[in-house]
Amino acid sequence: MDYQAVMDAIYTRGWVIVDDFLTAAEVDALRACLPDEWRPAGIGRDTLHQDNRDIRRDQIHWLDASLGAPVADYLARMEALRLAANRMLMLGLFDYEAHFARYRSGDFYATHRDAFAGRSNRRLTSVFYLNNDWQPEAGGLLRMYGDDEQFLMDVSPRGGRLVLFLSEEFPHEVLPANQERYSIAGWFRVNGSGNGRLDPPR
Ligand code: OGA
Ligand code: MN
């Protein structure tokens, strides 16, 4: 992967899509690490399951290298990205957290931002898709908006594709999926809430 091109894109427009970040075989290996146990995703500090269901219906399982070598490899790739972002963009990213997400038929995630200025230490979002042969009829598009909340683009959750975007600047939603949809959502975080922003802000 061309780190320079990826970081240039993040610097100039705040997002980038890397197709074939992993091969179909590598995606299959990651899918073989999917856990048996899932929990309803929470929203920030809100833990009221019923309220959550109006906003998001996916289920999650936090990633950790003990889930298998393919997961450990994935985390190592994210660590390399973190170091490249710090070296080339001076983002000061401190760590990375990620979870598997499962959307079953009918599941969605309403429009949200992953971080709000001053209230989160998430700076850069990653979403990696585990759906080889995803067809348009399967729905489940990632719909992205600009900071002004105007439509930006729809992204198909096709296997091997990695999406990176600045966590505070792009509202987004997951349209209802019509079949099981798997992804790894992750966040590069700063240590404390004051730093880690590109300067000047776009
Ligand atoms: C998230 C999210 C997008 C996707 O988990 O916060 O927005 O396409 N996921 O799965
Ligand atoms: Mn999100």
Ligand at shortest distance from the CA of 130: 1
Q: How many CA atoms lie less than 13 Å away from 180 in the CB half-sphere?
A: 9
Identify which of 43, 85, 111 has the alpha carbon closest to the alpha carbon of residue 190.
Answer: 85
Pocket lining: 107 vs ligand 1, CB cutoff 6 Å: no
pLDDT tens for the chain, residues 1 to 202: 999 999 999 999 999 999 999 999 999 999 999 999 999 987 665 555 666 888 999 999 999 999 999 999 999 999 999 999 999 999 999 999 999 999 999 999 999 999 998 888 999 999 999 999 999 999 999 999 999 999 999 999 999 999 999 999 999 999 999 999 999 999 999 997 556 677 665 5
Query: Which atom of ligand 1 is found nearest the CA of 185?
Result: 5
pLDDT digits (tens, 9 = 90+) for 63-113: 999 999 999 999 999 999 999 999 999 999 999 999 999 999 999 999 999
| CATH (domain of 143) | 2.60.120.620
Is 180 within a domain? yes
Residue 2, pLDDT score: 95
Pocket lining: 142 vs ligand 1, CB cutoff 6 Å: yes
Ligand at shortest distance from the CA of 103: 1
Q: In 10 A of CB 37, how many CB atoms? A: 6
The enclosing H or E element of 53 equals helix 49-55
Residue appearing with tokens 């990695």? 162
The residue nearest atom 5 of ligand 1, judged by CA position, is 185
Is 181 within a domain? yes
Query: Which atom of ligand 1 is found nearest the CA of 183?
Result: 10
Residue 41, pLDDT score: 87
Pocket lining: 174 vs ligand 1, CB cutoff 6 Å: yes
Instruction: List all residues 6 or more positions away from 80 whose beta carbon is below 8 Å from its beta carbon.
Output: none
Is 200 within a domain? no
Which DSSP state fits 102? E
Residue 117, pLDDT score: 84
Strand ranges, E, within 38-136 = 39-40, 59-62, 95-103, 109-112, 122-129
In this structure, what are the phi and psi dihedrals at residue 31, rounded to the nearest 5 degrees? -60, -30
Is 198 within a domain? no
The residue nearest atom 6 of ligand 1, judged by CA position, is 114
- The Å distance, Cα 88 to ligand 1 centre, comes to 26
Does residue 69 sit in helix, strand or coil?
helix
- pTM of this structure: 0.93
Is 120 within a domain? yes
Pocket lining: 167 vs ligand 1, CB cutoff 6 Å: no
Is 125 within a domain? yes
Q: For a pocket test of ligand 1, which of 38, 125, 127 has the largest count of ligand atoms closer than 8 A to its C-beta?
A: 127
Overall domain count for the chain: 1
Which domain, by its residues, includes 35? 3-43+52-190
Residue 119, pLDDT score: 85
- The answer to whether 22 and 81 are in contact (CB under 8 A) is no
- The Å distance, Cα 112 to ligand 2 centre, comes to 6
